Structure 1
Amino acid sequence: MNIGKVVKKLFINIILGVILLIIINFVGLYFGFNIALNIYSALIIGMLGVPGLILLILLQFMV
């Protein structure tokens, strides 16, 4: 697989993940729920996609 395609897919996943994270944080304001928006959460969502977002949500409930 071409390295350019991998980087492009990772970048697109990170952008979409950040948008989803912002939406979840906006909705979570009403329920007292917040996930930090930082490079680590963006990379987790970028590499794993939606399952990464679900993982972050589950980890937030564990803490």
Structure 2
Amino acid sequence: MNIVNVLKKIMLNTILGAVLLAIINFAGIYFNFSIALNIYSALIIGVLGVPGLILLIILKYII
């Protein structure tokens, strides 16, 4: 696997992570829950996937 394919995969996962965060924030309006939609949280979800999303949710409740 070369570096270009890895970067493409990370970028695609980051964009999907940002979309997933936007959906969660939209649904979270009804539950008074939101996660900041920024490049760092999108990258965490982009690199880690669903476990990254769970990590951000747990960190939201801890902090």
Same fold (TM over 0.5): yes
Equivalent in the alignment of 2:39: 39
Aligned length: 63
Deviation beyond 4 Å, 4+ runs, structure 1:
none
Measured after TM superposition, the shift of residue 43 of structure 1 is 1.1
Structure 1 stretches lacking a partner, 5+ long: none
Superposition RMSD in Å: 0.7
Identity percentage of aligned residues: 68
- Normalised TM-score (structure 1): 0.93
CA distance in 2, matches of 1:24, 1:36: 11
CA distance in 2, matches of 1:43, 1:16: 10
Structure with the higher fraction of residues in helix conformation: 2
- Normalised TM-score (structure 2): 0.93
Equivalent in the alignment of 2:22: 22
Structure 2 stretches lacking a partner, 5+ long: none
